[in-house]
Amino acid sequence: QVFTNYLSEGENVIASVIGNPQNTQWVDQEIIVTFPQANLWDYDDLTHNIPIFVDTTAPSTKVNENGFYKNSTNIPLTWKEISDDGDLEGFYLYYQIKDGSSLGDWMLYGYYDTVFATNFSTENGNIYRFRTIGIDVYGNKEIKGTYDTEVKIDMDLPRSELWLSEGDIQYTNLDGVTINWKDNATSDIQGYFIEYKKTDETSWENYGLFTGIGEYWFEPESDGTYQIRSRSIDYSGNKEVKEVPDITVTFDRMKPLVSLNKINILRNTEDLKLSIKEKSENLSSLDIEFARLDENNEDILEWKSFDEEWLNEEFVIRNLVDGYTYYLRINPEDYAGNNYPREEFEFIFTYEDNNTIEIQLPTIPLKPVMTGKIKNVEITVDENSNGIYDKILQEYNSNDLSGMKANQYWIDYEEGKLVFGNGNIGYLPPVNSSISVIYSGYDLVTTIDNNPPMPVQNVEYQIYDENNLTIEWNEPEDAVSYIIESRDNFSRPWEILDNINYTKNKMVYEISNLSGGFHYYRIISVDRMGYQNTDMEGEFLEIFIEYENINSATSTGSSSTIINNYIIFTSLLVLTAIASAAYFFRNKKEEIAINVDSSSILVPVELLDEEQINIAEEDKATFSVVQGSQFSRTTVFVCVGGCQSEFENVNDGDNGNEIMCPHCGLIGDSPL
């Protein structure tokens, strides 16, 4: 109760807030106030009941929460009244800035009575706290000791990193790799996107979204070069931008396929240059090994490496030794560590056409004797395409393929071919079956031959039917063909008469319808390399065909030389007698025709004085020498004063002796 002993004249105000000393809490309540009244003015003594509404409760308000992290400097704020008294008059909006560990004072942002939202400008990196203070129509003002909500402005993009457990590798022949990821100095990452793509693709594929750091097995379905990256997203919604992938790794689970350009199977000792014909990929190395055997020898090969290196896609082998057969094999290795050695070489292929019975192998198998094994080639077949090679074949070792059994195959070790059969005679694989062939092989082979063939020896000839000729000789070692050359006299070069592109133990060559006079022949042996040997036994054949079908022949180094020289010597005696008779008739000043083997020679017999004869002899020589023949075994003369023919003379005219032409009978001094 409120007791008033005195009321002033006029209006009187009584406080609307009532305090209870025994209760520290303020309350709103309706009370009855009694005013005892002193009747100073002779008023009627009346009692008035006055209802009074007491409101001491301030309104309750709040800034709405809209997430802690924001990636914008302009954020929307909204607020509301929590109390429902209905006497709210307005809102005071306050904010506070926290920069790291520094906390600022509360700042009034504005007063709002009918508006419940605004946009607030911020700076990146700060934390902003907000609260509202409400006031009602009775003047009650809200009191708060804390904030309604806070917002962190984060516009920085998060960062993450990804790496491989296998290390910093660029190539691998593994089925997969283990990828790891974590943040990179970023503390507010809420997730990691793991993405990948091939280098020739434009869009990234999502491999998974992970909420924390971790690791995962990455195994692509196909080979290729893959780029892998992690992209993080933070709580503010910022997504990491990563143009460069974290890792680039090439998955290569295939063996490198390499072939070399062919080389001649026969060659000389000059440098041998090897070059790559085809390769399926880039190589980290390409080793070359060699083994050599004496030609036509078969033994266990001992493989060695060359000291040379590849230079500009070319490999040069030097110091090859004559008489050896060189076997060459390569071992390519790619950057993923896959290699394809020719030792225990495995070739897997799909048999697609049962009309094909010959398969060209990528490398040439070695004969078993060269590997030191009983057999070199092993073939198994997956006939059902189930990945199990359970059909085992046997190698057939005879060259008569008609004896093959239904489970056998044949290997052509010279050409490097695998030969099947028809199912009855030899094995016939089912169509689309997979065949595995394992063997030791080589890539190239060459034989070094630097020596010419042996010369032609034991040459014999026979003249028949007056002017037909047969020449025989024995087959020289290494000769595969022959060149027959001829010439009419020593002043002319040798000319090719014929090429004989075969050889046998006893060679025979025939020449028909020879003209009269001397004929010279030589036989050149030619080997497989094309090397020629002109050193025929006796150097050449010299054969003489007489004009009157009287055959005589001479061969340097021939068994017929003695007989031929006897015929020539007899002819010289006859011609000498005839010439002496002619000289006798010359003193009678008569001109007499003398027949010499049906050849008419007119001999003048008019008397000439000795001076005239000497002048005539000095003006023109009777005979000359074929240039160079004076240095050979037999000197060859030319009858320049008579028939112009070439001839040999047993008496070569040394020491000033006279000689006589066997063709026309002309006698004169030797030019030697």
Domains and CATH numbers, the chain: 61-153 (2.60.40.10), 160-251 (2.60.40.10), 360-447 (no CATH), 457-559 (2.60.40.10), 569-669 (no CATH)
Whether the per-residue pLDDT at 599 is higher than 60: the answer is no
First to last CA, the chain: 181
**Is 265:259 a contact under the CB 8 Å cutoff?**
no
SS3 content of the chain, % helix, strand, coil (to 5): 5, 40, 50
Strand partners, 358: 419
List strand residue ranges (DSSP E) for 488-559, in order: 495-500, 506-511, 517-527, 532-533, 541-545, 551-554
pLDDT, averaged across the chain: 84
**Is 655:661 a contact under the CB 8 Å cutoff?**
no
The predicted structure's pLDDT at residue 563: 41
Q: Is 347 helix (H, G, I), strand (E, B) or coil?
A: strand
Output 37 or 340, whichever has higher pLDDT: 340
Q: Flag the least confident range among 86-100, 157-171, 565-579.
A: 565-579
User: 522: which residues sit within 8 A by CB, 6+ positions away?
Assistant: 485, 486, 494, 534, 536, 539, 540, 541
d(CA 540, CA 328): 44
**Is 236:285 a contact under the CB 8 Å cutoff?**
no
Strands 171-172 and 247-251: parallel
Structure tokens at 61: 């308000």
User: 66: which residues sit within 8 A by CB, 6+ positions away?
Assistant: 75, 76, 77, 78, 149, 151
Banded model confidence at residue 624, pLDDT cuts 50, 70, 90: confident
CA distances from 375 to 25, 365, 366, 369, 411 (A): 109, 11, 10, 8, 11
| CB-count exposure of residue 223 (10 Å: 0-12, 13-18, 19+) | middle
User: 69: which residues sit within 8 A by CB, 6+ positions away?
Assistant: 151, 152, 154, 188, 234, 235, 236, 237
Query: Cα-Cα-Cα-Cα dihedral of 422, 424, 427, 429, to 10°?
Result: 60
Q: What confidence tens digit (pLDDT) does each residue in 28-82 have? A: 555 555 555 555 556 555 566 777 667 889 999 999 999 999 999 999 999 999 9
Structure tokens at 383: 């006939």
Strand partners, 134: 91
The predicted structure's pLDDT at residue 614: 47
Whether the per-residue pLDDT at 632 is higher than 70: the answer is no
Highest-confidence range of 15-29, 177-191, 587-601, by mean pLDDT? 177-191
Largest Cα separation within the chain, whole Å, is 227
**Is 346:437 a contact under the CB 8 Å cutoff?**
yes
Q: Has this prediction a pTM greater than 0.85?
A: no
